[in-house]
Amino acid sequence: MPALIPAVGYARRSSKAQDEASIPEQKRACEDFAREQGYLLVRWYSDDAVSGDNTDKRVEFLRMIKDAQTRGDFRAIVCWDHARFGRFDSLEQGFFGYQLRQANVHLVTVKDGALDWTKSVDRIIGSVKQEGKHEQLLDHSRNVVRGQLGAMQNGGWVGCPPYAYRLEGTRKNRRLVLGDPGHRLIVQRIYKEFADDGRSMNAIATRLNHDAVPTARGRVGKWRYDEIKVILTNPAYAGDFTAGRWEHGKYYTIKGRAVAKAERPGKKPESEWIIHRDHHEPIVSREIWERTQGIFANQKAAGRRVGHSPYSPEENPYLLSGLLRCGRCSCPMHGLRQSKYRHYKCSLNHDSRGKECSGTQVREDRVLLQVADFVDREFLALGGEQLAFRAELKELKPEDLPEGFARLKSLLSPPEQPAIDRKQIVGRVRELSVQIEKARKQLVLIDPEFIPDAQATIRELEQERDRLENALRKTGGGESDLNEQTFQALQALYWVSYLFRCVAQEHGREQPEDWTELLEEMRELNGGRPVAVLTGAARSPLLRRYLRHIAGITLHTRTEGSGKRRRHQLQGGEITLHPDVGATKELNRHFRGQRPAADR
Ligand SMILES: [Zn+2]
């Protein structure tokens, strides 16, 4: 005979319902049931003449919950049915369910079987539906959809406004009006980067994160390519009202401009949309909107996904993706793999099959070596070696730093830490700690279903706090740090050039042979601390950080031969840094002497 499971019984009778089983009847049924199912009842708790939703008055019930946590001498509660246990709303259900689950106690009932706390909310909803509420739900759904259809046909916006817009007007006639001017600039920037600069949606998201632009939900560093796509494909930004683009009603939906039974969720054909052209003030011009849709259509027709890079920004092996411009036509150059090397090729040349631009094509490593040279020249121009030497001896004073140094430092500093205001950060850390504490306390009050989400939020808060505390630790303030900071910045610059050369060297090879050696060497350079390089130099955050400060690199090549024997020789180029990196003037440098006049 298997061991009996220790359990307690719970019985309750409400004052009103006289047709309910009496407490002795409930107890008898439960005792029989417990014997059959292998439970050993160690105690009874019972509340008489208390209704199921008035938990505060259910003294015995509350004592039972407390005993489950403190005494811990039972694993189950045996009860007549779920309603005897309690008619809770889902919040309360979650509150008690969570406590019992933590105490490793489950509920079994004579009538309704076991209740799984992890799914309790589903069951409550399920039983509500079964008991006739379902019809009511359907009626409600039909009415809501009918109301929405009416509003849409009148050009009234249903649901949340798109990013950079807000809503004005009464409930059934809400109009889109221009929202936050800063958000509008971001929308325009996204369209420009996509349609004019030929950047992928991933690249656009990365750049927004790098500039610490908050998302629509106000979070920094959380832009992703799909949010960019939502903005690039929403006709609202060109001033058109469209509704009913998506099928998402659970019970009822809009079909053929009428209320109909819902089908599977998904995008509806354009013929089903409700469209009002030039309905509100646009944020982008009709011209760029149409060009953007054209790019999506072309990609689809070609079975190509140009706007959507298959790589995450951290893993894209095409390190210069989105940066290179053809020196002949200034169109963006796209990565392509040819033989065992990564190349970049003029997209206009590619798309027009050579008709509109005779083309520029370069091997990635050749460009990388030129960029490394560029970095070295910057280092030398600052007197980097001399500075680093003096910084190491702690001899530097603020006035010793050359003019370009602030710009250089911002080139290499991580984006999340602009000029650090200690006071502000200390305040933020305190604020975060309070939030974390509060969230932890609330954890027991919410539906078990939402606990993983809440825990994830807490983790996020904790990460932010740790990051800020680290930043505080790193910056002590005062003059002794000037030397340390200068030294670190110069060392970082030195590494950037070194890393560019490493990528160029390992270019095309599956696994660089001397990688462990390289890591070891860099660890030494870093004073024995581990180096933030994952598996290849190309993944170095330092390198990618530097690249993000480059607005574009225009390349000039000389071509020889024709047809299949055509060869491109890299002749020179200009690097343009982002104007926000210190000086606002553009920094044009030639790779190698003058641009060849003969080839223009
Ligand atoms: Zn071109």
- Which CATH number characterizes residue 289's domain? 3.90.1750.20
- 489 and 575 inside one domain: yes
Q: Does residue 212 or residue 64 have the better pLDDT? A: 64
What's the pLDDT at 507?
Answer: 62
- 403 and 430 inside one domain: no
- 449 and 491 inside one domain: no
- 270 and 352 inside one domain: no
Question: Over the chain, what is the mean pLDDT?
Answer: 75
Q: How many helices (H) and strands (E) does the chain have?
A: 19, 19
Q: How far is the CA of 289 from the centre of ligand 1 (A)?
A: 24
- Token match 């632009």: residue? 213
Q: Look at residue 122 and tell me if it is in a domain.
A: no
Residue 594's pLDDT band (cuts 50, 70, 90): very low
Q: How far is the CA of 209 from the centre of ligand 1 (A)?
A: 30
Q: How far is the CA of 329 from the centre of ligand 1 (A)?
A: 4
Rounded Cα distance between 241 and 276, Å, is 5
- 171 and 273 inside one domain: yes
Q: Does residue 422 or residue 206 have the better pLDDT? A: 206
- 448 and 393 inside one domain: no
| DSSP code string of 85-116 | H----HHHHHHHHHHHHHTT-EEEETTTEEE-
Within 10 Å of residue 65's Cβ, how many Cβ atoms?
19
Q: Look at residue 123 and tell me if it is in a domain.
A: no
Q: What is the pLDDT of residues 79-93, one digit of tens each?
A: 887 777 776 655 566
Q: State the DSSP H helix or E strand holding residue 313, giving kind and residue range, or none if neither.
A: none
Closest CA to 411 of 588, 205, 589, 577: 577
pLDDT at 226 over 90: no
Q: Look at residue 127 and tell me if it is in a domain.
A: no
3-state secondary structure 505-549: HHCCCCCCCCHHHHHHHHHHHCCCCCCCCCCCHHHCHHHHHHHHC
Half-sphere exposure of 393 (CA within 13 A, CB side): 7
Q: How far is the CA of 370 from the centre of ligand 1 (A)?
A: 20
Q: What are the C-alpha distances in Å from 470 to residues 429, 465, 466?
A: 11, 9, 6
Residue 534's pLDDT band (cuts 50, 70, 90): very low
pLDDT at 191 over 80: yes
Q: How far is the CA of 593 from the centre of ligand 1 (A)?
A: 22
- 427 and 356 inside one domain: no
Residue 562's pLDDT band (cuts 50, 70, 90): confident
The torsion angles phi and psi of 445, rounded to 5 degrees, stand at: -95, -10
pLDDT at 208 over 80: yes
DSSP letter at 133 equals I
Q: Look at residue 130 and tell me if it is in a domain.
A: no
- 399 and 507 inside one domain: yes
Both structure tokens of 263: 């089908």
Highest mean pLDDT among 272-281, 298-307, 319-328, 478-487: 319-328
Residue 290's pLDDT band (cuts 50, 70, 90): very high
- 154 and 176 inside one domain: yes
Q: How far is the CA of 345 from the centre of ligand 1 (A)?
A: 8
Residue 55's pLDDT band (cuts 50, 70, 90): low
Q: How far is the CA of 348 from the centre of ligand 1 (A)?
A: 5
Q: How far is the CA of 307 from the centre of ligand 1 (A)?
A: 19
What's the pLDDT at 284?
Answer: 94
Both structure tokens of 206: 């990365």
Burial of 580 (0-12, 13-18, 19+ CB in 10 A): exposed
- 285 and 378 inside one domain: no
- 287 and 197 inside one domain: yes
Half-sphere exposure of 288 (CA within 13 A, CB side): 21
Q: Look at residue 135 and tell me if it is in a domain.
A: no
Q: Look at residue 312 and tell me if it is in a domain.
A: no
- 495 and 433 inside one domain: no
Residue range of the domain that includes 212: 148-301
Q: Tell me how many domains the chain contains.
A: 4
What's the pLDDT at 10?
Answer: 92
Closest CA to 345 of 83, 354, 224, 188: 354
Q: How far is the CA of 186 from the centre of ligand 1 (A)?
A: 28
| DSSP code string of 181-242 | HHHHHHHHHHHIIIIIS---HHHHHHHHHHTT-B-TTS-BT---HHHHHHHHT-GGGGT-EE
Q: How far is the CA of 328 from the centre of ligand 1 (A)?
A: 5
Q: What is the pLDDT of residues 419-454, one digit of tens each?
A: 456 777 788 888 888 888 877 777 766 666 667 777
Q: Look at residue 93 and tell me if it is in a domain.
A: yes
What's the pLDDT at 237?
Answer: 94
What's the pLDDT at 587?
Answer: 36
Share of the chain above pLDDT 70, in %: 69
SS3 361: strand
In this structure, what CATH number is given to the domain that contains residue 102? 3.40.50.1390
